[in-house]
């Protein structure tokens, strides 16, 4: 039933909306600023007091980054880890999540093993020592395997599998299907959109991973995008981090300011996230709500 809104209601709504729009601007401004300045030229960047909108948009900083073997290699490495990592995580999470819906012998115990990790974790050093003992140090698998299953995703995925009508499984069982056949022929085909969403979440996690990379990879030749990004932007060391491009640029006496290189690097490291963001957004609200259902 429509209710007539009073004047004070309208004012409250107006102020509320204004505040929210201001907040949105605060969220968006850094993206705008970083993008704009990453395209500015050397002269304009150095000579402008407060650069908010470059007059000439040039690609110098991007060209410099793409000239560097280090950045390109780190992108390649990270793409590889992201794809393989997401697939491995999906496989391990979905098989286990499905098996935990099958009322296997000892199921309560396996479920407890998963849930207990929510309230107690082993700690950094013992985990590091086990990863080391497994022989994963300096291997890209160290970024993929030790965090392959997120307990949270596992529980949410199990909830999702349990929401698939039981009748389908019953029919399959009567037809003589075993659990493996139910998993591959019924559950997986019916869960494609959900699996895509979980895969995206794992992929974003891998793309953004930093901690495991500094913990387990000592060799700078194996650095991922995030590690390179920290060297360039936070430690302000573009020249050494991207040494191959710096050498070339020094010869032509045309080195873009390290600030614009850093901003361009941030943009390049963020673009993949922005591309998948619409797909992420479609699914995540559902996921959070599923996860809040008590199991």
Partner 1 sequence: MSTTSVEAGNTVIESKKAPTRSLAARLFRERYGFLLLLPGLVYFIWFRYVPMLGNIIAFEDYSPFKGFLHSDWVGLKHFKRIFEDAEVVRVIGNTLWLFFLQTLFAFPVPIILALMLNEVRNQRVKRLIQSVVYLPHFLSWVVVVGIVTIFLKTEGIVNKGLHFVFGMEPIQFLQEPGWFMPLIVLEVIWKEAGWGTIIFLAALAGVNPTLYEAAIVDGASRWRQMWHITLPAIRGTIIILLILRLGSVLDSGFTQIFLMLNPFTMDVGNVLDTFVYFKGIQQSDFSFGTAVGLFKGLVGLVLILAVNRLAKKFGEEGVF
From the list 234, 205, 241, 206, the residue with the least C-alpha distance to 220 is: 241
The site string for partner 1 over 20-59 (x = CB under 8 A, - otherwise) reads xx-xx-xxx-x--xx--------------xxx--------
State the nearest-atom distance from the C-beta of 124 to partner 1, in Å: 5
- Whichever of 51 and 84 has its CB closer to partner 1, that residue is 51
The site string for partner 1 over 176-205 (x = CB under 8 A, - otherwise) reads --xxxx-x--------------------x-
The site string for partner 1 over 59-88 (x = CB under 8 A, - otherwise) reads ------------------------------
State the nearest-atom distance from the C-beta of 271 to partner 1, in Å: 11
**Segment interacting with partner 1 (CB under 8 A) among 57-65, 148-156, 237-245, 248-256:** 148-156
- Whichever of 134 and 163 has its CB closer to partner 1, that residue is 134
> Could you say which residues in the range 89-108 bind partner 1, by CB under 8 A?
91-93, 95-96, 98-100, 102, 104-105
């Amino acid at each position: 039933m429509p209710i007539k809104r009073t004047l004070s209601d309208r004012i409250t709504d107006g102020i509320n909306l204004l505040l929210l729009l201001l907040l949105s601007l605060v969220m968006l401004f850094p993206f705008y600023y970083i993008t704009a300045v990453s395209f500015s030229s050397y002269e304009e960047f150095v000579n402008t007091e407060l650069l908010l909108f470059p007059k000439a948009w040039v690609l110098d900083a991007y060209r410099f980054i793409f000239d560097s073997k280090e950045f390109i290699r780190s992108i390649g490495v990270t793409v590889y880890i992201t794809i393989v990592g997401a697939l491995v995580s999906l496989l391990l999470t979905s098989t286990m999540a499905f098996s935990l819906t099958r009322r296997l012998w000892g199921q309560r115990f396996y479920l407890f093993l998963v849930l207990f990790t929510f309230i107690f974790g082993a700690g950094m050093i013992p985990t590091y020592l086990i990863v080391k003992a497994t022989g994963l140090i300096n291997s890209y698998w160290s970024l993929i395997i030790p965090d392959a299953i997120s307990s949270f995703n596992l529980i949410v995925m199990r909830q999702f599998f349990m929401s698939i009508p039981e009748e389908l499984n019953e029919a399959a069982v009567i037809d003589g299907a075993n659990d493996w056949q139910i998993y591959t022929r019924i559950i997986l085909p019916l869960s494609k959109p959900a699996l895509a969403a979980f895969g995206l979440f794992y992929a974003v996690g891998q793309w953004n991973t930093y901690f495991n990379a500094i913990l387990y990879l000592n060799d700078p030749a194996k650095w991922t995008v995030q590690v390179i990004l920290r060297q360039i932007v936070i430690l302000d060391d573009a020249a050494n981090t991207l040494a191959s491009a710096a050498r070339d640029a020094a010869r032509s006496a045309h080195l873009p300011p390290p600030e614009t290189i850093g901003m361009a690097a941030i943009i390049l490291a963020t673009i993949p996230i922005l591309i998948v963001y619409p797909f992420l957004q479609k699914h995540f609200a559902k996921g959070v709500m599923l996860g809040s259902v008590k199991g």
